[in-house]
Amino acid sequence: MQTMKSLIKEIAGWYGVGDEVVKREMELAIMEAFTTPQNEEVSKLQSRIPRRGKIPTLEEFLLYVIQEVQNETNEKDGR
């Protein structure tokens, strides 16, 4: 998805690193979050993320986050 590529490229620009570095670090962070024991509240939030496997892919995770931000923005705008 182009939005995700654009997002990764923008973040890479902020930090002065390559796109692959950002992608790898984000994947590692997702892996860490889903393999480290969490409290009940975090586990509930994680369970809401649609995914095919036990751990969401970067694409699955970002798609969920983007949709949540859009939903929140629409609610604030009264849409």
Q: What is the pLDDT along the chain (79 residues), one digit of tens a residue?
A: 678 899 899 999 999 999 999 999 999 999 999 999 889 999 999 999 999 999 999 999 999 998 999 998 888 888 6
Long-range contacts made by residues 4-13, C-beta under 8 angstroms, separation at least 24?
A: 4/58, 4/59, 4/62, 4/63, 4/66, 7/62, 7/66
Instruction: Note the pLDDT of residue 78.
Output: 81
Instruction: Note the pLDDT of residue 77.
Output: 81
Tell me how long the chain is.
79
Instruction: Note the pLDDT of residue 1.
Output: 60
Instruction: Note the pLDDT of residue 66.
Output: 87
Tokens 């986050």 identify what position? 65
